[in-house]
């Protein structure tokens, strides 16, 4: 069956607003249609963050990333739906609609950048901007058979973006190919036009993070093992890594970091225009139980500065241990399943249910957000049980974005044909 014969989500559930915002210049993105997640400012359009509280929050200027895209020739085609304020991965938004999966409407495409993934999957746009705090660009890309790229933290400017955890947040890029994503990265970041000749001649050594495979469902394990077998069969060196990244502890400490940073970050975006009690007012009108409870807890039972510093120190020590162990191998690039199971069901969940689902979906994608490293999810087959795509993630050291995109190009060629649509 073709994509058109399956469920096609309503455009109203993909976009929070649609408009053609023309390019301001000419460049490498001439003729490209780009969708923008609705927590990133586009001048003249509301930046709602997926929350009713900001329905009338019309941006007066482009975010820097949007301005760069338009200057390079891109046309903005609209703002895409998201989990309320980006505080979740279900894709269920009671205000703006649910980002149902076209291949199986019992599920969503995940989030929080679900609308951005659908905009590209359904060809409303060639590429889309998302954001990634816990995996929110890579996760929906994986479930829709797309490429989802999280650059090194700080590589792209963050002005004009609703942030929820500044030490973890970054704008990300979703597209149908590594080449498209890499071209957008050239516009937004500082990667050279092409890898250096010396870098291009070096083959990556892929290290499979065994810890990240422990919770795979049988169907997802089969897809990951098949993908890795195909990669190894081409002569690319693949090693198994038993080193522990302490994924469960990363997840727990990541919650502490986000809880400490989120209220100040939201206040910083809202500014004086929305009043001193804006966050409390936002919570009162929030229609997503998980978002509402996260914000209420962060406001009423805040993480102390000492708890925050302790969490950051523990994370730094964990990362140092892992990098030290990794340094004793020849591994250049980590590889692991982007997610361990199917995407969220299209249901509004209780806080406890949402927390359990959040852990299951973001466990593997969380560390990159805590250690500022670039990571990219690539299509890696489709589940026969659900018809929903799977992804594998490549990750390198912070700042190695160009080399990561080079590695991803190689792996994409090997796994060609695994994307949907």
In a domain, 183, yes or no: yes
In a domain, 354, yes or no: yes
Pairing type for strands 33-37 and 75-80 reads parallel
Residues 6+ apart with CB under 8 A from 113: 37, 80, 82, 128, 130, 131, 132, 136, 137, 139, 140, 141, 172, 174
SS3 assignment, position 70: helix
Catalytic residues: 37, 112, 136
Q: How many domains does the chain have?
A: 1
In a domain, 184, yes or no: yes
Q: What is the CATH number of the domain that holds 179?
A: 3.90.1300.10
Dump the DSSP string for 175-243.
Answer: ESSHHHHHHHHHHHS---SS--HHHHTPPPEEEEEGGGGTT--HHHHHHHHHHHHHHHHTT-EEEEE--
In a domain, 263, yes or no: no
In a domain, 230, yes or no: yes
CB 377 within 8 A of CB 144: no
CB 39 within 8 A of CB 84: no
What pLDDT tens digit does each residue of the chain (421 aa) get?
444 445 667 777 999 999 999 999 999 999 999 999 999 999 999 999 999 999 999 999 999 999 999 999 999 999 999 999 999 999 999 999 999 999 999 999 999 999 999 999 999 999 999 999 999 999 999 999 999 999 999 999 999 999 999 999 999 999 999 999 999 999 999 645 445 444 445 789 999 999 999 999 999 999 999 999 999 999 999 999 999 999 999 999 999 999 999 999 999 999 877 877 999 999 999 999 989 999 999 999 999 999 999 999 999 999 999 999 999 999 999 999 999 999 998 876 666 777 778 888 999 999 999 999 999 999 999 999 999 999 999 999 999 999 999 999 999 999 996 655 4
In a domain, 284, yes or no: no
In a domain, 35, yes or no: yes
Single out the residue of 59, 163, 73, 148 nearest to residue 109, CA to CA: 148
Find the distance separating the first CA and the last CA of the chain, reported in whole Å: 10
In a domain, 268, yes or no: no
Q: Please give the residue range of the domain that contains residue 388.
A: 13-248+310-414
Which two tokens mark 100?
A: 């149902």
How much is the pLDDT for 197? Answer: 45
| CA distance linking residue 178 with residue 383, whole number of Å | 22
């Amino acid at each position: 069956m073709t994509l058109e014969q399956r469920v096609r989500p309503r455009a109203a559930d993909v976009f929070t607003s649609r408009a053609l915002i023309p390019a301001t210049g000419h460049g490498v993105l001439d003729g490209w249609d780009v969708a923008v997640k609705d927590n990133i400012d586009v001048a003249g359009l509301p930046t709602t963050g997926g929350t009713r509280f900001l329905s009338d929050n019309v941006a007066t200027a482009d975010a820097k990333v949007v301005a760069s895209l338009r200057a390079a020739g891109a046309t903005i085609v609209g703002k895409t739906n998201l989990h309320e304020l980006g505080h979740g991965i279900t894709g269920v938004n009671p205000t703006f609609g649910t980002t149902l999966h076209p291949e199986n409407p019992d599920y969503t495409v995940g989030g929080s950048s679900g609308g951005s993934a659908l905009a590209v999957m359904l060809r409303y746009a060639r590429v889309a901007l998302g954001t990634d705090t816990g995996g929110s660009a890579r996760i929906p890309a994986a479930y829709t058979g797309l490429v989802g790229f999280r650059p090194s933290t700080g590589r792209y400017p963050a002005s004009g973006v609703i942030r929820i955890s500044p030490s973890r947040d970054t704008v990300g890029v979703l597209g149908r190919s590594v080449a498209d994503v890499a071209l957008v990265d050239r516009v937004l970041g500082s990667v050279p036009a092409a890898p250096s000749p010396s870098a291009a001649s070096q083959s990556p050594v892929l290290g499979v993070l065994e810890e990240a495979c422990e919770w795979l469902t049988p169907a997802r394990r089969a897809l990951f093992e098949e993908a890795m077998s195909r990669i190894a069969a081409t002569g690319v060196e693949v090693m198994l890594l038993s080193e522990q990244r302490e994924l469960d502890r990363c997840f727990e400490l990541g919650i502490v970091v986000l809880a400490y940073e989120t209220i100040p970050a939201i206040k910083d975006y809202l500014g004086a225009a929305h009043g001193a009690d804006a966050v409390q007012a936002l919570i009162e009108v929030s229609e997503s139980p998980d978002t509402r409870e996260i914000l209420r807890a962060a406001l009423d039972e805040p993480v102390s500065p000492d708890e925050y510093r302790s969490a950051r120190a523990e994370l730094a020590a964990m990362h140092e241990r892992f990098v030290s162990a990794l340094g004793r191998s020849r591994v250049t690039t980590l590889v692991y399943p982007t997610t361990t199971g199917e995407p969220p069901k299209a249901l509004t969940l209780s806080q406890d249910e949402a927390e359990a689902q959040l852990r299951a979906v973001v466990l593997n994608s969380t560390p990159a957000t805590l250690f500022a490293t670039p990571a990219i999810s690539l299509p890696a087959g489709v589940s026969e049980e659900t018809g929903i795509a799977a992804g594998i993630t490549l990750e390198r050291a912070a700042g190695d974005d160009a080399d990561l995109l080079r590695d991803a190009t190689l792996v994409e060629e090997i796994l060609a044909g695994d994307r949907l649509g």
